[in-house]
Structure 1
Amino acid sequence: MLVRLLYCSRAVDAGPAAIESILAQSRQHNPVSGITGILCYGDGIFLQCIEGGRLQVSDLFGTIQKDARHKDVALLHFEEISERRFGGWSMGQVNLGKLNHATLLKYSEKPELDPYAVSGKVSFALLEDLAATAAICGRN
């Protein structure tokens, strides 16, 4: 059974090395576990969608909740799915540096990434839009 989980968190250390460490670990671990997804990071906030088997996704989310590199972890959306939306990525990263701020304004009151201020459905729609329009780093 495939599921999709969407969550957000705040980075404890927002330095480039810390963020790259999280991405590298995801890209190493996720293919073995059959997990795919996309990560959006900006202004100290992570917005991540992970897809895969129910147990694998649940285990990964539990690990993220205990990870000292994250704080304020919030579950935004969880659903059973018939197919993956981000199946082409072991963990793709949206490059917010190449993002038109109008895209963020389309989904929120301010041109900034703040999944805490919008619904899970809105956050997922933003990720889909970003995947379609923004530069994606680390596609495979």
Structure 2
Amino acid sequence: MLVRCLYASRPVQPMNGALLDGILEQCRRNNPRQGITGLLCVADDLFVQLLEGGRDEVCEIFNAIVRDDRHKQVRLLSYEEITERRFGNWTMGHVAIPRVNPSLLLKYFKRVELDPFDGSGQATLSLLGELVATAAIVTRGE
């Protein structure tokens, strides 16, 4: 059975290139062998990640993230059973939120900022879908 999990968290330490590179490398190394696909959005003080794959694998990854000392305020935004992957071509695509068109953020949130803690999980999921459709993903990570 396939599931989709969307969560947000805050980094414990300020985000820097080395920390982000380490997280992306870990995702790109481990996710394919577990059948996990998804996206990671990063801003200075925010992670938003979407995971798709088997229920057991996605739940194990989410539980590991909750225990990961690089994250705080981990919040589940959406979890659902799915019949097909929406982000199946991405082992772990990366979206740099500061580079996203401000009007796109305003379409889904109260202000021109990605704030999944104050918006619906569906709005965040819709934004991710639109980012894929508009080619705002930095890399497929393949």
Give 1:134 deviation, angstroms.
4.3
What is the alpha-carbon distance in structure 2 between the residues aligned to residue 90 and residue 105 of structure 1? 28
Q: Which residue of 1 aligns with 2:85?
A: 84
CA contact (8 A) 1:95 1:134 kept: no
Q: Which residue of 2 aligns with 1:3?
A: 3
Q: CA-to-partner distance for each residue in 1:49-78, whole Å, 9 max, x for gaps?
A: 100000000000000000011110000000
Q: Which residue of 1 aligns with 2:108?
A: 107
What is the alpha-carbon distance in structure 2 between the residues aligned to residue 102 and residue 134 of structure 1? 16
Aligned structure 1 segments of 4 or more residues deviating by more than 4 angstroms: none
Matched, 1:12 2:12: yes
Q: TM-score, normalised by structure 1?
A: 0.95
What is the alpha-carbon distance in structure 1 between the residues aligned to residue 67 and residue 91 of structure 2? 21
Superposed CA RMSD: 1.1
- What residue ranges of structure 2 are gaps of 5+ in the alignment? none
- What residue ranges of structure 1 are gaps of 5+ in the alignment? none
What is the alpha-carbon distance in structure 2 between the residues aligned to residue 52 and residue 34 of structure 1? 6
CA contact (8 A) 2:97 2:114 kept: no
CA contact (8 A) 1:35 1:50 kept: yes
Give 1:42 deviation, angstroms.
1.2
Residue identity (%): 51
